[in-house]
Amino acid sequence: MTYPITIVDDFFEDPDAIVEMANEFKYYPPDTGNWPGERTKQLHLVEDRFFNYLGEKIHLLFHDNSPGYWNMQTHFQKITPFCEDKYHQLNRGWIHQDIDTHFGGIVYLNKDTEPDTGTSIYKAKKGFALQYKEEIGMKEALYRGEDVNIDDYVKAYDAAHAQYVETVKIENVYNRFVMFNNKTHHGVQTFGTKERLTLNFFGMQMTGKIAPLRRAR
């Protein structure tokens, strides 16, 4: 672990302007089914000034000045509910880790938020967890927009999630920043009943700085 779980409310000075910008971009569905909904292109390709502003703003939460080298992936994401039942398995996120990153995180950008549409942190009940390829395949098929057998999907979802216990529940609050390290098991509680807008980011690589939890050792 390199970065602690971090929550910052009122993250952007003018979140309404950020939402307005997010709604100007085109969104694309996933080819692989790794994630739900649609995302913009990487922000360094479509709005590099905002991308650099965001990277520095995140970095300065933990360090006194900018890193020697900074590599971050970030995009806006919109998720439309998969069914009318807010708490049906089709409409709930899969627990996962942001492997191959230093950290991952999100900024919630819906003003009229719904309960339980934030992010939960989990731990494995037995000290380990393993999601089978067949279970992940059901998720990816749904997220690619393919038809899935509902009973099989529910069975796969329940089997995967039965391995974890929730330890922290973070509510969806407008302009709330949430960040966690790459080993943190996390997932969306529910996608809700209306479109969910977020800014997602992943810290991939940096040089010239030691991460906070490593400095503390």
**CATH number for the domain including 77?**
2.60.120.620
Report pLDDT for 69. 60
Q: Tell whether the model's pLDDT for residue 205 goes beyond 80.
A: no
Report yes or no on 1 lying in a domain. no
Report yes or no on 197 lying in a domain. yes
Report pLDDT for 208. 52
Report yes or no on 67 lying in a domain. yes
pLDDT per position as a tens digit, 28-37:
999 999 999 9
pLDDT per position as a tens digit, 43-83:
999 999 999 999 889 888 887 776 666 688 999 999 999 99
Report yes or no on 108 lying in a domain. yes
Number of domains the chain is built from: 1
Percent of the chain beyond pLDDT 90? Answer: 79
Report pLDDT for 90. 98
Report pLDDT for 217. 44
pLDDT band of residue 211 (cuts 50, 70, 90) is low
pLDDT per position as a tens digit, 119-177:
999 999 999 999 999 999 999 999 999 999 999 999 999 999 999 999 999 999 999 99
Say how many Å lie between the first and final Cα of the chain, rounded.
11
Nearest to 33 by CA among 105, 85, 121, 94: 94
- Let me know: does 80 contact 117? Beta carbons within 8 Å: no
Per-position b or e across 67-95, b if 16+ CB within 10 A of its CB: beebebebbbbbbebbeeebebbbbbbbb
Task: Provide the domain limits for residue 14.
Answer: 6-215
Distances 51 to 31, 72, 122 between C-alpha atoms, Å: 24, 9, 29
